[in-house]
Structure 1
């Protein structure tokens, strides 16, 4: 349900799902099990918000995201479960701190987020974290907040970003043995809760102000980071 909610209304809510999956399954296997459900959520988000994407932002992010994905594949092949979780937790907390600090500075047009260095940092970390733990949502959420996107621009840009990236991750996940017949059977039973969550997220987004929306994204990011650390 948290996956559905995160895709249609409250970005970052799936950090709770990441924590739950990592509790029920070994950390690496949990990423493969979650991936296919995330793709279902991506398709729902595209159906709702496909017209609101900021394509120039997506195109500028593409090179650094690809680099991050490839580093993530190597990391998964070499590092154990505990190392994966703690690395992601540290990265998320640092990004929250960085984003909150930058949002205190006057930047009405998102000029800070548009800088090449910032774009490279967030894009590469987004690719890396989404590959190793499906945790790219909080990272890119921080970037989109720094860009000062409206709620619909945020959701539309995120929908296209993760639909493309998550589909690109499937061959790597199969090659690493993270997607198996067992995970496919489990995911088939969990599609309905994703759809229910998507309906809840769609209902919630129509009732949130921009200020509360931003605060929710940050709060979910911190919760997910603390869980992964401890």
Structure 2
């Protein structure tokens, strides 16, 4: 159990923004969840906490849009997603914490820059 109050002060708003953003109302603010939570926990711990929540919200979304998929697009996206998942799994187990934090920071800044 995590007993650090700062973790909860940062994580609860981050998770709320993530879920609101996944619903289409958060203007992309969900991207700040991992950096905010990584201020108090290690990156592997943050990923371990966020992944089940994000997977559950994705399953709800898939159910809502069932039957409305673009099969030609999925034929491109699914293999690309599997490659990305593979690289991510290798990175989280092999890269030092400092490199993971740097990667999250660069990706977050790039995401904001593109908006």
Normalising TM by the smaller chain, what interval? 0.7 to 0.9
Conservation of the 8 A alpha-carbon contact between 1:112 and 1:146: no
CA displacement at 1:227 relative to structure 2: 0.3
Match of 1:114 in 2: 8
| 1:28-39 correspondence to structure 2 within 5 Å | none
Deviations 1:180-212 (A, max 9, x none): 34x243113321122222222222223321122
1:201–1:124 Cα change, 3 Å: closer
Contact 1:144 1:154 in 2 (8 A): yes
Matches within 5 A, 1:36-185: 110-115=4-9, 118-132=10-24, 135=28, 138-148=31-41, 150-172=42-64, 174=65, 180-181=68-69, 183-185=70-72
Deviation at 1:145, TM superposition (A): 0.8
TM-score (structure 2 length as normaliser): 0.74
Gaps of 5+ in 2: none
More helix by share: 1
CA distance in 1, matches of 2:60, 2:36: 21
Q: Which whole-Å CA distance do the structure 1 matches of 2:50 and 2:68 have between them?
A: 27
Matched residue count: 114
Measure the CA separation in 1 of the matches of 2:77 and 2:5.
41
Distance 1:155 1:120, change over 3 A: closer
- Match of 2:73, SS state, is helix
**Following TM superposition, where does structure 1 have runs of at least 4 consecutive aligned residues deviating by more than 4 angstroms?**
133-137
- C-alpha distance in 2 between matches for 1:187 and 1:144: 31
Q: Distance in 1 between matches of 2:37 and 2:54?
A: 13
